[in-house]
Amino acid sequence: MSPPGHEQEKNKKNQKTMKRIFPLTAVSLCAIACLTLVAVISCDGNEGILSPQQPEDGARVPVGFSTSVGEPTMSRALTTDNLTSMGVFASYTGQDDWDATTSKLNFMYNQQVSRANNSSPWTYTPVKYWPNTTTDKLSFFAYAPYVDESAAGGSTPSFQGNTVAGFPKLTYTVPTAEADQIDLLASVPLMNRTYETTSGSVSFLLKHALTKVSVYIKSGDNVVGKKVTAFSITSAKSGTLTYHAPDAGNADDSGTGWTYPTPAETETFPAAAATATPGFAVPDTKAAEKKLLSTFFLLPRGEGSTFSITYTAPGKLSTGATITQTISLAGQPLPSLDQWTQGAFITYTIGIEKKQITVTAATQPTWTDSGKETVTGSYTITYATGPADSGWSNGGTGTVDGQPVTTHTVSRWGGSAEWEEGTDETVDGEVW
């Protein structure tokens, strides 16, 4: 017979060893439209901020994450396959709703969630747990890719600090080199979430925070041998993205908005392909397909943005001798700058010919190059000595073989037209 109390002690030990096991959530990959990631828990600790969640069976419930990108992306943009990190901010407000004047990022501050590759599990450390009271509230904010502010050389983006009350603010400086510019994603804020309403998993919707600008080159005539040797866009250098509570009645409200320094700070962003030897070849004929010169990821502030271009074109003297002319146009205006909004994809097609160039703007329906693009505006820029009136020059400055010329910009049309990608585009009766 067992000694008194032995059975009770045995039962207590059994109870201690019988704990509910929560399986890890698998990563779900969506091939076309979304990216799903799960924060797999591997460490313990809440850094004393909150007590662990204790359901009836005594198991601790970690905070898990999933995210989706609004649409498939391309060309240095974040995709299901190449996204390996995101940064998460979170605030604990107890039974109260988030207060923009007093609430702080006291639960998570730029918490890294990462994976080694697209077949690896997503992890973060230290693990955070839902509050003891299942109706206590947490508010969440996220961006991607993750940036370590403590890394050498500073960071882009940077943040205002975890002791500051209010919504997170993300200050972003556009890298000068085209190859260093990448997609920046920001989540729609998830306000006042509880364990009861989420079942422990927080699902972010990440949206593109920048404007994608692609530049194409076409020939405006049938002159063979033209080359672009320099191209750049001058635009906003830095801005601050601030999260806000999204308007439930406005489906277009992403819960974020940009502000910019006053006076405006600009930077010149060169196209790498234009400076490569021996230059970027312009298609030989008007009927030839346009060619992609560059893709920039820029701040959604088109106001005041300009472009500069240098190209060479063959010619003949009256004697019959062949020459190569060099044309440089600086500070030229870009059409449809009002289309530079968060998540927009804008294309500029530059048709190059003798004595003038034509810049045509269009919006793409998605961040892929599929589907119809809608033409939104066009400028024709001529370069030659014009009327004596100095006001005739309204398009910037220019030179031909080092000699100054007057440039003049004319808006060709302002309506909308559409063309199918990969086919001839007809604008004002001209086949491009």
Of 107-116, 119-128, 151-160, 170-179, least confident by mean pLDDT is 151-160
pLDDT-above-70 percentage for the chain: 73
Say which residue, 239 or 401, is predicted with more confidence: 239
Say which residue, 377 or 25, is predicted with more confidence: 377
How far is it, in rounded angstroms, from Cα 196 to Cα 188? 20
How far is it, in rounded angstroms, from Cα 231 to Cα 2? 90
* pLDDT for residue 142: 93
* Helix H or strand E segment including 275: helix 272-275
Give mean pLDDT, residues 123-132: 90
pLDDT reading at 50 higher than 50: no
* pLDDT for residue 59: 60
pLDDT reading at 35 higher than 90: no
How far is it, in rounded angstroms, from Cα 212 to Cα 71? 14
Q: Judge whether 76 and 295 are in contact, CB under 8 Å.
A: yes
Please report how many Cα atoms fall inside a 13 Å half-sphere around the Cα of residue 89, on the Cβ side: 28
Give mean pLDDT, residues 223-228: 94
Amino acid 92 reads: Y
CA 153, 159, 162, 164 torsion: positive or negative? positive
Question: Confidence class of residue 80 from pLDDT cuts 50, 70 and 90?
Answer: low
* pLDDT for residue 319: 79
pLDDT reading at 73 higher than 50: no
pLDDT reading at 414 higher than 50: no
Give mean pLDDT, residues 420-432: 35
Other beta carbons less than 10 A from residue 239's beta carbon? 24
- DSSP 8-state code for residue 268: E
* pLDDT for residue 427: 35
pLDDT reading at 322 higher than 90: no
How far is it, in rounded angstroms, from Cα 203 to Cα 135? 18
Question: Confidence class of residue 277 from pLDDT cuts 50, 70 and 90?
Answer: confident
Instruction: Tell me the average pLDDT of the chain.
Output: 79
pLDDT digits (tens, 9 = 90+) for 363-397: 988 887 666 789 999 999 988 766 555 555 566 78
pLDDT reading at 48 higher than 80: no
* pLDDT for residue 286: 93
Give mean pLDDT, residues 99-116: 92
Give mean pLDDT, residues 334-348: 95
Strand partners, 143: 87, 186
How far is it, in rounded angstroms, from Cα 105 to Cα 247? 21
Say which residue, 29 or 408, is predicted with more confidence: 408
Say which residue, 397 or 225, is predicted with more confidence: 225
Give mean pLDDT, residues 49-61: 50
How far is it, in rounded angstroms, from Cα 255 to Cα 168? 11
pLDDT reading at 428 higher than 60: no
* pLDDT for residue 227: 96
82: nearest Cα among 96, 94, 99, 69: 69
Question: Confidence class of residue 49 from pLDDT cuts 50, 70 and 90?
Answer: very low
Distance from chain centroid for Cα 7 = 64
Of 39-43, 312-316, 385-389, least confident by mean pLDDT is 39-43
193: nearest Cα among 182, 185, 201: 201
